[in-house]
Amino acid sequence: MAEFQFELEWYRGKKLPGHAQKVHGLAGTVGPFGDVTVEFEWRKPGLKGGHRQYEVRLFGEQMPDVVYRTVGPPRPCLKNARFDVGGERVRLDFNAKALRNSSRALRMTCQGRPYVYAVARFERAATLSRPGVEITMTRGKSSRGKESASFGTATGDVDALDLALAIVFEHIETRELTASDRVSGLIGKVLDPRPEESSH
């Protein structure tokens, strides 16, 4: 398939049928794959306390069923995540100790395919790739000039699974995949060391 581009607009506070509260998300037409919608919803912690529970779902007539669940503030993240694609549990792996974005990239295998998801430019751009396929997502102002949007460029023999994976991560906190997160963590340890890390 030749290269194609698409745009997904962000929406906030939309009340949808079947939802107890307003939801946020992304929506737009993804080339020949038709309309795609991402819904993000959070649930209050139970009576025993704890953090909010987040759920991100992706919908589209030609898209696989994608559900991403996680717990903890301030938004869906990579920790404590449960990622299901087409009924398959997908494991997420990345090197939190690496000092380069490329080395911290997220790696996962879905339906027998190996994927790499790398973040650049302080989360304003990311690329999902597998052999022969690359999808780059960037964020900016909507072409209609009203709201924010996510812009995608797909190259190679791209299919619905590739697109679903790239799009759903637009709604996931991926700061842990950037070298800046590692550096800020190291600086934090120097400025405010734990008791066992203090020198005597």
pLDDT of residue 47: 54
From residue 77, give the alpha-carbon distance in Å to each of 18, 34, 48, 173.
25, 27, 22, 5
pLDDT of residue 53: 83
Let me know how many helices (H) and strands (E) the chain has, helices first: 2, 12
Q: What is the tens place of the pLDDT at every residue in 62-75?
A: 999 999 999 876 67
- So where are the chain's domains? 4-192
Mean pLDDT of the 151-155 span: 97
What is the C-alpha separation between 149 and 29, in angstroms, rounded?
Answer: 12
**Between 104 and 135, the higher pLDDT residue:** 135
Tell me the Cα Rg of the chain: 18
Please state the pTM of the whole predicted model: 0.81
Q: What is the tens place of the pLDDT at every residue in 6-63?
A: 999 998 876 655 656 667 899 999 999 999 999 988 876 655 556 678 899 999 999 9
Q: Which two tokens stand for residue 187?
A: 């600086």
Q: What is the tens place of the pLDDT at every residue in 172-187?
A: 988 888 876 444 433 3
Q: What is the tens place of the pLDDT at every residue in 83-109?
A: 999 999 999 999 878 777 788 899 999
